[in-house]
Structure 1
Amino acid sequence: MRVYVPLTLAGLAQVHKASEVGPGPLTAYAVTPALREWYVSDDIEELEYAALNRAAAASLRMLAGDPAAVPRRVVVAVDVPDADAVVDPDRGLDPGALGEVRLAKAVPLAKVAAVHVDADEAVSDVAAAASALGAADLGDDDAQFTVDGAEDHELLWFATQEIPNLIG
């Protein structure tokens, strides 16, 4: 199963140094039954894209919690056995947790399929979105518009061999 782990660039540097995504438990995003029902599609590529976007939103939340972080969303795509990605039964149908899964243990870097990171052009919009996230959560429409502006940027795809260039 492909899962998407939200990180920051500092988190990606830790993954590279440790040669694993972890330590566990980890929150990740995947194509879960609730995500399938919410997204109403049978196209696996569309569903995986939705899970990737859920992880990108979680990465933005990490950035909002660390104002010193480089404002670039980071998502690591990892392949794990289906049994390793567990949906929390208490949160499985919570709209805020759609696609959310837990990984109990760290995942070796060798299981990373790709890294997705914001382009340089997205940095100012991502920084603004991270700053506006709290107000958006409280219902501020202008703040939500700013958060949506970051979501308009597509994450770029990188091979694992490119991680040193991303964190350097």
Structure 2
Amino acid sequence: MPRQQYYFYPFGNIFDLTIQDTKDKYSRKNNCTIIKAIHQLQHIEDSSTLLIDGHCGESHDLIASHFEDDVPNKQVIKAGVLALTKLNNNLPKNHIKIRLLGCYGGIKAAPEIARLLGTICGYQSIVVGGYSKSVFVDPKSRHIINLPDRDPIENSTNSGYVLWYNSQGTSVAKPNVQSDPNEYNPHF
């Protein structure tokens, strides 16, 4: 049985079509629950994967509601602010795995979230991952990786295109989280 996933989008109902496509994709998965309110994070299993959606950048640790800069209602949050204000004290302290879904989330945002949750907030087991490349959503398959000078390819487990960071913000291998079949929380 696939590991339980939870999809979280920190900007409520302000999003672009890319975010809508991603949310639609994950809402159709049998093993994924859409988080509609921040307090629901308290009830997710330690061994599940928390998926955080939003546009990231290669040169900064910002997460945004829209890819374009000239959108009037665009919302932006620093990765550290997301960790300290939305995840801290809402996510169970023993939670292990978070994956950012946005382009380049593994370059600046993932290590910052992992480091702050681990060193300041006490999430000692946390591992945060994110893509090292530009990606786009394919509704029928995994995320597609855009590669320079090559055709885009479908991401695969252990492809190396998702970078992972531990609670110190140090690069690590993808976590192999063992799920407890009795851990599922039907609270949703």
Scaled by the length of structure 2, the TM-score of the pair is 0.24
Which structure features the higher share of helix residues?
1
> Which of the pair has the greater relative contact order for Cα pairs under 8 Å at 6+ separation?
1
Scaled by the length of structure 1, the TM-score of the pair is 0.26
